[in-house]
Structure 1
Amino acid sequence: MQFLNQGLAFGAIAAAIPLIIHLLNRSRFRTVDWGAMHLLESIIRVNHRRFQIEQWILLLIRCLIPALLAMTLARPVLTGAGLLQGDAPVSLVILLDNSYSMDSVSGNGTRFQEAVAEAMQVIRAVPRGSEVSVILTGGRPIPVFDRPITDVDSIVRRLKQLNGGYGASDLPAAMDEAITTLGRMTHARRELMLISDFQPADWKQLTSDGAALLQRRLTSLDVPPALTFLPVGNAITANISADAIDYPRHAIGVEQQLPVRVTIRNHSAVPVENTRVTLQVDGKEADVAQVSLPAAGDTQVFFPVEFSAAGSHVLEVRVAADDGLPSDNRIAAVVTVWDTIPVVLVDGDPSSEPLAGETDFLSVALTPYTFGRMRLTDLVTTRTIPPTAISDEVLRTARVVVLANVSKLEPPQLQLLTDWVIHGGSVLVTSGNRLDINWYNQTLFAAGTGMLPASFGLSRGTADGQTAATHIVAQHFEHATVEFFNEAQNGDLSTAEIRQWYELLPAATTDGTVADTSANNTETGPENTPARPAAIVIARLESGDPLLVERPFGEGTVIQLATAIDDDWSDLPLRPFYVPLMQQIVTTMAARISPPRNIAAGEPAIALLSSDELLPADSSGTSTSAADISAEIPGRTIAVVSPDGSRHTLQTVARGRLQMAQFDRTERPGIYSMSLPTAATIHFVAETDRRESVPQLMSPDELNKLADSLSATVTRSSDDWLELDRLRRHGREIWKYLLSALLIVMFLEVILQQRFARVRL
């Protein structure tokens, strides 16, 4: 406790005045003996004791009156265990939730508008010279300014320009960013404030151990900050969200039909009838559907889509719903439509006889005269070459390379192919009787560091059928290359007889396991070097051996087949499903663009561009050669348009033989357009998960429990925080309470004086 008028506190010494007067008056009395007094001695003794107690009570009260008066005039302030900091500058970090749930309509505008208003009121009230940093939490933590600044007006102006609707918040990551920022600040007093709608889903990843670790990080700072939670907004009762947009992942050609499936979810407890769902293709309405949604359930809508031109196209679905959260009523995806898919067939066992060469059946399967509804006749083009013909010119235009029963590659061809795969190419490696197994295992697999997904083991079975054949395991396939065969009318893979095959020993993960699904099991490697991911078993044989194994390598992918691609080791080419199987494998590999164009909000949008894609056309319609472009400048300027319409520019950087364009500010879900010098456009779609679509906020008890786990204080408004901050800086004055006590004691003294006097009479 401290005193604002410290000198007046010494007035409490006046409490001794009544005691001094009492002692002085007491010394004036003389004792006179009177003979008859001994008859009243017992009565006097009793009355004297009562009178003495009364006098001590009055004396105590009279001493208390000047002491209380002095303390009141001194204006004492309660400060707890710390010292008053008054108007000393503060280091303040505000975590401002701008995720899409903050677009929910609250009492006065959206939750985000309410959060911005609260933040501005807090920032305007900080002492002069304070340093302030505002970090947006939507998508990924992004500071509004590169460094903490002291210009309050600049911060307020910038806050007024902000919008919500960004990706779901990763609040634990945002707390980490705030702690890092606080560690670089300079003032002795530090504050950390989180302004959010506090949805439970945003905090599910914060376990009790994580909370303890986060609290230890806060307290381990040189100056531990005071942590404050400020919840905003009211809960909404109804919401409809577009949760997912799905379509086959194989390559799609011009005028081919692409079935699109959209999942719409109703988060309210009341069913919704006749909801309008619109599909837009490249910004133009292409189809409309009316759906009914069950209470707390979902439904799916199917749209058949055809594209009239090759290139990058955007599918966007919008749900016409009058709910409290409009931001999740849309979802989009990028689809690349191909004019042709160039496939290079490297034949390791050629023949002049019809259908006797290693790649003859495959070539026919990839370029049939007709293929039912899929109409892939004009989509795939093949070119058959010997292994020695692999060159930079051949690989520059290829989407997929098939190594069919190739004995081995010479070092120049191997280096060209390896670089090509690292930078996004796709290779299918098939088995056969000409393979140099030692070369494949030592050079191409290289103990799991090479491009080959699995090492070759023993040869099983015999080509002439002298031993029992095996079959493909009938199962529900999850990998995009074979999920086409989950429908019985598309063919039964288990009917094929595999007479001879190699054991494949897939590359394992770091924990020694091998993935049996198409989940992402990659490990990040150094920049410009291939990562070492886990191999993925796409399909198995009844013998237990893998038949198809895949592994990403760099930016590309490699699939390995345990048997031959022709009819030497199996009857696969003689089965009706051989044509769709080969086309599904090859076109899915060709359609896999790496880095992907459909990304999570906050992930970078990356395009790897060849020199041909960076050639600007001049007024005559001709282009500078790729060699000239590479010689002139190392990078090109690329324009990017964000979902909010803002334009950005970036420079490409060399990445091997390609140029890389990378745009990092993708925190807002939506469509990003990257314009190339050729006038072509590459689209990216950033989407976020729909965990914040659930219209549920933390209850007061849940929020208090979270605050307790992080030693935080919960305030319901900026006014409450400012009052709390004032007490932290200036303490709480208690002179009013002391004045009340003084008046009570004075009245008590009068009342007791009269009462005691009446008793004596």
Structure 2
Amino acid sequence: MCAARHLGNLVTINKTDWLQRCFTRKHASFMLTFLNSFLAWSLLAAAIPILIHLFTRKKLKHIPFSTLQFLRQMQKEKIRQVRLKQWVLLLLRTLIIILLVLAFMQPALRTDSPALGKDAQASVVLIIDNSLSMHNSSRGATRLALVREGLRRLASTFTPGDRITVIAAARPARVISKFSFSETNSDIDGFLDELTLRDSEADFDGALLLAQQAFATSPNPNHEVYWFSDQRIAAPGPVPAGFAANTLFYNIVVPNEKMRNLTLSALRVDAAIFEPGKAVPVRVTVSNSGDFDEKDRLLSVFLNDQRVAQRQISIPRGQQRSELLRVVPREPGYQYVRAVIENDQNNADNERFSLFYIPPESRILLVGPGEESRRFIRLALQAASTTAARKVSEIEPGQLMTTSLNGIDVIVLSNVARFSNTAAAKLDRYVRDGGGLLLFLGEAIDARNYNTTVLKNLAAGELAESIGDIASTAPVLRMGKINQGHPLFASVFDDQQKVRVESPFFRFAMRARLSTDAVTIIQYSNGLPLLAEVSPDRGRALLFFTSADDRWSDIVYKGVFAPLVDRSVRYAASRGRSPVAELIAGEELRYRIRMSSGAAGEVSLVLPDERRTMLRPAVEKNAFLIRYDKTGRGGFYRVMSGDEQLYAVAVNFAPGEMTAPVLPADSLAQALHPLRVVTMPLGDELPQRIREQRQGKPLWRFFLALALVMLVAEMLLFRDRTEQQPAGIPASAT
């Protein structure tokens, strides 16, 4: 037997545990180890009952007695019974001593693992999910607060010299602390103070890559990853190469309890043209991401920190509701829109942000040959310009190459005959850099030149043959179908109602074949495009396939012309040059400042909590590039040059974070193969479970209980043997 083979070597055994070799089969998935293997020599005490038995053994003296033949026969039968009970007692007493010694040796059962010895120092990576869903509260504490308490308890399992790396998993994942563990908790408390909730989603793949990089620079042999999360994450991608074979991944699951929660999943300004004093439609979408129906919850909309609209809503669980409200800006400038739902068990998703900008002055460059070609457009701009300042400059087509386009919001081209390649390239750069462009045809244009220059650069399509005759008075076309859902007509055709528009007639027109990138806004009565839009890169161009000349049509005399020109100018200027944008929490804020603006001397960023941080612009392609990636909190971020505001961004949480399903533990383990994943709940028993996983499940209680059971059996058997001892037979006789 294995015990017999190693009995002579028990005293000389050090770290190597012979019992582990005895109890471990060649292909077993579990093995037995002992925390106090130095007590193995105590197993020699198991020989004590055997020695006592041998030394107390006596032989009976046989005295013949002729009258007791019957009693001798009974004696033989009783002796056989007594001997059997004595052997059983001997076995029980020996096993009792062995079991007591094994209990003091603290046996533990653990799964096979390539991890090195438990006494070796470890490299530990703590990945903590501080994303939006971890804001959820239960019994007055957020899920992240529960994780903080769990981390404090987990610290008791670390040993001095362990290298700890702490990673916050909210997008973008980042390392927030690195330290070598000591007996004090100062390092633990330090990173716990820095660990704060964010409104972004969990970046699990990014955090896992940072963990692999931390292990690559660590000399410690044991590698452990602890992932604290409520498991509301997408399925992970492939495991980064470089993880050691002995890496243990502890999946610590934060419990998901039933909760009441409404999520502001969308806030959209349903307009592209803004004017002071004119109502702007705002659409708010609210989702019930909780586990209960919600009734009569208050939804409010704020404009520039003033409540301007509110409504009570009721939403069954698992459903969403969209509400259309209106805000009215009073002054030009930045307009900050905020929607708020009343508090519930996760207040982080009860607020959403949007913004738009009304320029205090629009600068328009009107290009056309002679006063006559520009006259009707100038009059239309003057007639519609009642609420906002507008500066209109007029030049001849030949002056376009020498005119600076910096600061120009919209260029209006009317009856420009042709474009040189240089002029066309200049216009193309202007539009792609965020400028607005309006193009009107005219009798002087060269269609072939347009097709090979301006229209080609904008990827808009091409002009074909003409329709009608300028000299004729008979109309050949009228205004046809209008795309009422286009942003150009937002709030003009409310609720898609039919609005009667006085249709102009057209004596002459150009047939256009649009590209797939172009969008038709207004058609002629024969279905050909009258007004189309293309949006290359950051800019926007509106193409009128008619002329602002009363010889082509009478549109310039109709009531639709001035509002159409005015709204087209506003719409063209509202895209690339607008100093506002929206981002998802965790995305990088980027903004380019032209060197010619002189605004990059001292650039700072005002955060949602009104704290100001200085930015260092980088030079990139004749511009200063502003970059900032710590957008983990929702709200408004404002780029400032001194006291002048250059740019504003609304940052919102990713709505999918709250509606994402919980990733099952087996799916995570499968995705992380070949890492060994151990899943356990977050709770008071976490440190004990970790110790059991490292050292094995303790079995000393089982051995002690078994020894007590055998001790009771030995007492009962011994008492029974004493009571049944036959007369004349010594108790020690065998």
Q: TM-score range by the shorter chain?
A: 0.7 to 0.9
Q: Aligned pair 1:481/2:488, yes or no?
A: yes
Confirm or deny: 8 A CA contact 2:356 2:580 kept in the other structure.
no
CA, structure 1 residues 643+495, in 2 after alignment: closer, same or farther (shift >3 Å)? Answer: same
Match 1:421 to one of 406, 431, 442:
431
Measured on the aligned residues, the alpha-carbon RMSD in Å equals: 4.6
CA apart distance, 1:89 = 3.5
Match 1:119 to one of 142, 151, 174:
151
- AA matched with 1:302: L
Q: Aligned pair 1:312/2:334, yes or no?
A: yes
Q: Which residue of 1 aligns with 2:14?
A: none
SS at match of 1:645: coil
Q: Deviations over 1:553-607 (max 9, x none)?
A: 3433344455556567666545543333333232112122457433322233333
SS at match of 1:65: helix
Match 1:325 to one of 346, 352, 359:
346
For residues 526 and 466 of structure 2, the distance between their equivalents in structure 1, rounded to whole angstroms, comes to 10
- AA matched with 1:662: R
Match 1:291 to one of 305, 311, 323:
311
Residues 440-479 of structure 1 mapped to structure 2, 5 A cutoff: 451-456=457-462, 458-459=464-465, 461-462=467-468, 469=477, 472-477=480-485, 479=486
Q: Aligned pair 1:386/2:396, yes or no?
A: yes
CA, structure 1 residues 641+235, in 2 after alignment: closer, same or farther (shift >3 Å)? Answer: farther
For residues 124 and 9 of structure 1, the distance between their equivalents in structure 2, rounded to whole angstroms, comes to 28
For residues 615 and 133 of structure 2, the distance between their equivalents in structure 1, rounded to whole angstroms, comes to 30
Q: Which residue of 2 aligns with 1:194?
A: 227
CA apart distance, 1:685 = 1.9
Q: Aligned pair 1:81/2:81, yes or no?
A: no
State TM-score, norm by structure 1: 0.74
Q: Aligned pair 1:651/2:683, yes or no?
A: no
Q: Aligned pair 1:604/2:588, yes or no?
A: yes
Residues 293-442 of structure 1 mapped to structure 2, 5 A cutoff: 293-296=313-316, 298=321, 300=323, 302-308=325-331, 310-318=332-340, 321-347=342-368, 350=369, 354=372, 357=373, 359-365=374-380, 367-370=381-384, 376=386, 378-391=388-401, 393-404=403-414, 406-430=416-440
For residues 55 and 609 of structure 1, the distance between their equivalents in structure 2, rounded to whole angstroms, comes to 99
Match 1:130 to one of 143, 162, 185:
162
For residues 708 and 745 of structure 1, the distance between their equivalents in structure 2, rounded to whole angstroms, comes to 43
Confirm or deny: 8 A CA contact 1:463 1:500 kept in the other structure.
no
Q: Aligned pair 1:738/2:703, yes or no?
A: yes
Residues 585-596 of structure 1 mapped to structure 2, 5 A cutoff: 585-593=568-576, 596=580
Q: Deviations over 1:172-218 (max 9, x none)?
A: 455555555455452333333333445xxx43xx2xxx45x45x558
Confirm or deny: 8 A CA contact 1:138 1:169 kept in the other structure.
yes
CA apart distance, 1:650 = 0.9
CA, structure 1 residues 227+8, in 2 after alignment: closer, same or farther (shift >3 Å)? Answer: closer
SS at match of 2:271: coil
Mean alpha-carbon deviation: is it higher for 678-687 or for 429-438? 429-438
For residues 578 and 651 of structure 1, the distance between their equivalents in structure 2, rounded to whole angstroms, comes to 47
CA apart distance, 1:736 = 3.1
Q: Aligned pair 1:636/2:657, yes or no?
A: no
SS at match of 1:424: coil
Residues 31-46 of structure 1 mapped to structure 2, 5 A cutoff: none
CA, structure 1 residues 113+565, in 2 after alignment: closer, same or farther (shift >3 Å)? Answer: farther
For residues 202 and 402 of structure 2, the distance between their equivalents in structure 1, rounded to whole angstroms, comes to 44
Query: Which of the pair has more CA radius of gyration?
Result: 2
Confirm or deny: 8 A CA contact 1:344 1:385 kept in the other structure.
yes
CA, structure 1 residues 640+16, in 2 after alignment: closer, same or farther (shift >3 Å)? Answer: same
For residues 425 and 741 of structure 1, the distance between their equivalents in structure 2, rounded to whole angstroms, comes to 86
Listed as ranges, the gaps of 5+ residues in structure 2 are: 1-31, 727-734
For residues 132 and 376 of structure 1, the distance between their equivalents in structure 2, rounded to whole angstroms, comes to 65
Q: Which residue of 1 aligns with 2:653?
A: 688
Residues 46-85 of structure 1 mapped to structure 2, 5 A cutoff: 57-82=88-113, 85=117
For residues 452 and 644 of structure 1, the distance between their equivalents in structure 2, rounded to whole angstroms, comes to 42
CA apart distance, 1:430 = 4.9
Confirm or deny: 8 A CA contact 1:239 1:693 kept in the other structure.
no
Q: Aligned pair 1:153/2:153, yes or no?
A: no
- AA matched with 1:312: Y
CA apart distance, 1:313 = 3.6
For residues 738 and 72 of structure 1, the distance between their equivalents in structure 2, rounded to whole angstroms, comes to 5
For residues 502 and 125 of structure 2, the distance between their equivalents in structure 1, rounded to whole angstroms, comes to 60
SS at match of 1:248: coil
CA, structure 1 residues 730+369, in 2 after alignment: closer, same or farther (shift >3 Å)? Answer: same
SS at match of 2:627: strand
Confirm or deny: 8 A CA contact 1:139 1:169 kept in the other structure.
yes
Confirm or deny: 8 A CA contact 1:278 1:317 kept in the other structure.
yes
Q: Which residue of 1 aligns with 2:124?
A: 92
Q: Which residue of 1 aligns with 2:37?
A: 6
Confirm or deny: 8 A CA contact 2:477 2:525 kept in the other structure.
no
CA apart distance, 1:154 = 4.5
Q: Aligned pair 1:580/2:563, yes or no?
A: yes
- AA matched with 2:272: R
Q: Which residue of 2 aligns with 1:227?
A: 250
Q: Aligned pair 1:675/2:706, yes or no?
A: no
Q: Aligned pair 1:726/2:691, yes or no?
A: yes
- AA matched with 1:722: P
Confirm or deny: 8 A CA contact 1:94 1:134 kept in the other structure.
yes
Q: Deviations over 1:5-45 (max 9, x none)?
A: 43432444665676788899999799999999999999999
SS at match of 1:236: coil
For residues 601 and 540 of structure 1, the distance between their equivalents in structure 2, rounded to whole angstroms, comes to 41
CA apart distance, 1:503 = 0.7
CA apart distance, 1:395 = 0.6
Match 1:248 to one of 252, 271, 285:
271
How many aligned residue pairs are there?
675
Match 1:664 to one of 621, 626, 629:
629
Q: Aligned pair 1:143/2:175, yes or no?
A: yes
Mean alpha-carbon deviation: is it higher for 114-123 or for 566-575? 566-575
State TM-score, norm by structure 2: 0.76
CA, structure 1 residues 61+576, in 2 after alignment: closer, same or farther (shift >3 Å)? Answer: same
SS at match of 1:294: strand
Q: Deviations over 1:484-542 (max 9, x none)?
A: 554447665998769532111235xxxxxxxxxxxxxxxxxxxxxxxxxxx65656678
CA, structure 1 residues 728+494, in 2 after alignment: closer, same or farther (shift >3 Å)? Answer: farther
Confirm or deny: 8 A CA contact 1:230 1:716 kept in the other structure.
yes
Q: Deviations over 1:262-301 (max 9, x none)?
A: 537484624227x4736342x4x3x544532224364746
Q: Aligned pair 1:257/2:285, yes or no?
A: no
Listed as ranges, the gaps of 5+ residues in structure 1 are: 508-534, 616-634
Mean alpha-carbon deviation: is it higher for 329-338 or for 582-591? 329-338
SS at match of 1:506: coil
CA apart distance, 1:81 = 1.4
Confirm or deny: 8 A CA contact 1:344 1:401 kept in the other structure.
yes
Q: Deviations over 1:316-352 (max 9, x none)?
A: 4455x353333344433332222222222333xx356
CA, structure 1 residues 249+130, in 2 after alignment: closer, same or farther (shift >3 Å)? Answer: farther
Confirm or deny: 8 A CA contact 2:39 2:104 kept in the other structure.
yes
CA apart distance, 1:399 = 0.8
SS at match of 1:597: strand
- AA matched with 2:586: G
